[in-house]
Amino acid sequence: MTKARIYIFLVTIIVVCLGGYVGSLYARGYKFNTKTMRFTPSGLMVTKSEPDGAQIIVNGELKGATNSNLSFAPGTYDVSIKKEAYRTWSKRITIEKEVVTEINANLFLIAPSLSAVTFSGCVNPVSSPDFTKIVYAVPATTENLNSDKEGLWIMEMSNLPLGFSRDPRRITDGDMASASWEFSPDGRQILLTTIGGKFILETGGFTSQSQRTNIQSKLADIQKGWDTEAENRFNSQTRGLPEELLEILKNRTSKVLFSPDETRILYITTKDAGLPVDLIKQIPGASTQVQERSLKAGRAYIYDIKEDRNFFLTEVSNAKLEDCALSSNTARISCSTTLSWFPTSRHILLAQSDKIVIMDYDGTNRQEVYSGSYVAPFAFSLVSSDRILILTNLGANSSVANLYSLSLK
């Protein structure tokens, strides 16, 4: 009786251990191959899309729908995410054994719709640093003067995608034909420059021409305060970054833009540099896309802080860009082309002279979301990811341009 109990006990231990071992293999992505009668390693592909319910095509074969987990043997695969009425997302993915590879595909409409946001004309729209406001001028045409609409206007965009529930507000009146304007680092004030002087406008209220105070004598102190505020924000964003990367961002770039979630950095180099490998400890499931760590002057790159990966985006024009500056949250690569972050923090908006492209932050999967007449490069990402704003007269050269909302989903 005692021997039988010992035998049962040992068998139980063996079964439990064997079951646990097999379970751990499956948990780590191994599969049992009935041909070789062995467990073979595999990796897990977690696929998500916005909108969901799209087809997953791997090496030309339908494998299922998005928002699902698929196992594949280690190797390189051509993956496409397809949904009717949307542009196809495509990328070459490398699967590693026992590693979860995550795919987040944003799909955009093949035929997006346009709807007018402004109606009295729009000149030189400028986006605030946090993408929540756009300030623009309404031209002093006879019609606008008669209806008292000329001046500088501001539009709040934080209500998207529910709609523009807040109408644009005028923050000052007057002819802005020879004027320029820029946001303060916190987006609460606007520096207005006219032939008559320089003025500070509060974005939350209206200041008439007669109430504007020329701050030309105080401009140096105001600009110094803004520069200090911007520097403090930059220091806060870069705190904890490796010294080698920090030296490049401070001394070898002309523009540095953090993604909305501050996990990635878009920067334009002014000098050649080498970005050392393994600045940050590698994490499982990091991007397997080709990266560049030998930096060349006059190029735009994206650095992923969490994954320590650096990707080349595009060349930058050699032309001087000081006279064609746009918003503080855009990077100009020519006077008619800009780069800016999309609100997902995983995509870049590329506004070119004849088209608008949204691409993955690693430079791949470039999707042309708009091709047609617009005033380049005035295309703006919003707080929401289902639309962008563009400045266009819809090809009617005799008409004044207005802001239009371009639906993407």
Q: What pLDDT was estimated at residue 362?
A: 94
Q: Indicate the number of domains in the chain.
A: 3
179 and 131 belong to one structural domain: yes
pTM: 0.85
195 and 266 belong to one structural domain: no
312 and 351 belong to one structural domain: yes
Residue listed under structure tokens 């070789």:
36
67 and 122 belong to one structural domain: no
For residue 23, what are the domain limits?
Answer: 13-106
Q: What pLDDT was estimated at residue 324?
A: 59
Q: Is residue 321 part of a domain?
A: yes
42 and 130 belong to one structural domain: no
Alpha helices in 28-151 (DSSP H): 142-146
Q: Is residue 3 part of a domain?
A: no
What's the per-residue H, E or C state across 230-289? HHHHHHHHHCCCCHHHHHHHHHCEEEEEECCCCCEEEEEECCCEECCCCCCCCCCCCCCC
Q: What pLDDT was estimated at residue 109?
A: 93
74 and 133 belong to one structural domain: no
Q: Is residue 292 part of a domain?
A: yes
Q: What is the dihedral of CA 158, 164, 167, 169, to 10 degrees?
A: 30
Handedness of CA 161, 164, 165, 171 (dihedral sign): positive
129 and 90 belong to one structural domain: no
Q: What pLDDT was estimated at residue 288?
A: 85
Q: What pLDDT was estimated at residue 334?
A: 78
> Which residue ranges in the chain fall short of pLDDT 70?
1, 3-41, 158-166, 318-327, 398
Q: Which CATH number characterizes residue 85's domain?
A: 2.60.40
355 and 265 belong to one structural domain: yes
Exposure class string for 153-164: b at 16+ Cβ within 10 A, else e: bbbbbeebeeee
Q: Is residue 317 part of a domain?
A: yes
Q: Is residue 234 part of a domain?
A: no
Residue listed under structure tokens 């010992």:
6
195 and 245 belong to one structural domain: no
Model pLDDT for residues 232-276, shown as the tens digit of each residue: 999 999 999 999 999 999 999 989 999 999 999 999 999 999 999
Which of 62, 77, 106 finishes a domain?
106
Q: What pLDDT was estimated at residue 229?
A: 93
Q: What pLDDT was estimated at residue 144?
A: 92
Model pLDDT for residues 359-387, shown as the tens digit of each residue: 999 999 999 999 988 998 999 988 878 88
350 CB-near residues (< 8 Å, 6+ apart): 314, 337, 338, 339, 356, 357, 358, 359, 366
| 407 close to 109: Cβ distance less than 8 angstroms | yes
